[in-house]
Structure 1
């Protein structure tokens, strides 16, 4: 039994609309591979992305073609379209990191700036928890209250540094997200280097304490590194960028349309 695969071309056309070949771009207004006319005057235009044939009622152009059929601009399809979707999934992951890190940076910086004003209400809440219900409250220095109490005792310079590092990391993730969403080659290298550098700390964190989210994050980052290195042919691997462009051209050019002729 033949395994079905997700047809990204159909998915894209469903969201953006078809990209049919225009008779005005063809010599004589017709091309058996791209545009056909039936005896009753019905025009069938082939979508250059998903290969669907779209019927329409229109007059056959009498003027010469504006450009040869070989120069038709074919939209992203095949491997090029698949790579676009994968890069945008990675971009969404980086955008999620940007929001989390940016929020954490803002919280740390605001906390450091108003720490003196916040300390009195915090300690009043801790005292109420510890002395409430007949003295059966939270133990001093434990749980979330204990972590916040430690933060109040940290030097301001350390907290400012932590906030700056979080903010810088958030900016890095945001730049990666924008570059990957727009399909920029430099963003692929930036994401690869940044993700690879952070793999060692993630593995070290797992040696201290294992959690579902830590394992998931490590697996996702390893998958991103392998994909960028192998599929995107970074650092000249498997022929590098020229080989990637040739491969995409085979899947997206005029030859691909002729190979996939319905």
Structure 2
């Protein structure tokens, strides 16, 4: 499909460069089209980028996000004479900036999951450290009774699950508190990343890149030592993909022009220049 192939289509959507996935269409499906000047009484030639009047009793309005042209009957009781001027209009995100927001929010959901899991683990470890003295006696009495009932060994030298739990009760309290606090701090870090990425903050992109890259070291080490599981491989792939995306696509640390190039790209894709550059037409 070419740039001009959609000029005579009812929606005019085909005028955009062909893409496998249109984030603009997804956003419009979720939030509705962005039309301006629907309550205006008259349409001027200078408003052609927003709305056109062909004298057929309809005003054809252009969605500022997905570029579709939609027929709208003029308001019976208009509240303004002409459509708003350009300085009155806030153009919605479109193009690469909109795609980046979807990707960053997907990463934010991943970080939110980490926050919840680590938070629960931290609370569990700290609660265990606080109540270990009270739980220890009841734990061993219960396990001895269970193992006596099936003719197994008694005491603290049990194997399997009993042995692992015995090790947990044998760990020093100071170690448990340290582990719980570290898990809690990491959970807070993941929560901060999630909030910053959801709000598409630049500092959150740097924070997430650094935190994710640092964690690649122990993940690769575990795999190199032979402790390979499908979950660990999937986690490594996801974290590598996140790191590469943030570094390359978001131009961190000055890569590919850095933050200035990022800002210029956003202005190019979401400003009036972008709307005029891709100007589909409604049915003639």
TM over 0.5: yes
Cα offset, 1:30, TM superposition: 6.0
- The residue number in structure 2 matching 1:203 is 220
Asked whether the 8 Å contact 1:30–1:36 carries over to 2, the reply is no
Equivalence map 1:147-162=2 (5 Å): 147-162=164-179
1:253 is aligned to 271
Matched, 1:169 2:180: no
1:7 matched to which residue of 2? 22
Q: 1:223: which partner in 2?
A: 241
Gap runs ≥5 in structure 2: 3-17
> What is the aligned length?
260
Matches of 1:174 and 1:258, distance apart in 2: 40
Name the CA distance, whole Å, in 1 between partners of 2:80 and 2:228: 71
Shift of 1:12: 0.7
1:82 aligns with 2:85: no
> By how many angstroms is 1:169 displaced?
0.3
- 1:113 aligned onto 2:102: no
8 Å contact kept, 2:193–2:208: yes
How far off its partner does 1:45 sit?
0.9
Listed one character per residue, the Cα deviations across residues 50-100 of structure 1 (whole Å, up to 9, x for unaligned) are: 112222212478746653x37742100100000000000110000000000
**Equivalent residue for 2:54?**
38
Corresponding residue number in structure 2 for 1:135: 152
- TM (norm. structure 2) is 0.83
Q: Matched residues in 2 for 1:142 and 1:114: separation? A: 24
Q: Structure 2: how far apart are the matches of 1:194 and 1:10?
A: 33
CA distance in 2, matches of 1:66, 1:21: 7
Which structure shows the bigger proportion of residues in helix conformation? Answer: 1
SS of the aligned residue for 1:36 comes to strand
Q: Cα distance 1:174–1:123, how it changes in 2: closer, same or farther (>3 A)?
A: same
Q: What is the match of residue 20 of structure 1?
A: 35
RMSD (CA atoms): 2.7
Instruction: Mark the runs of 5 or more structure 1 residues left unpaired by the alignment.
Output: none
Distance change in 2, residues 1:213/1:165 (3 Å) = same
Shift of 1:132: 3.5
TM-score w.r.t. the length of structure 1 is: 0.89
Larger CA deviation: 116-125 vs 239-248: 116-125
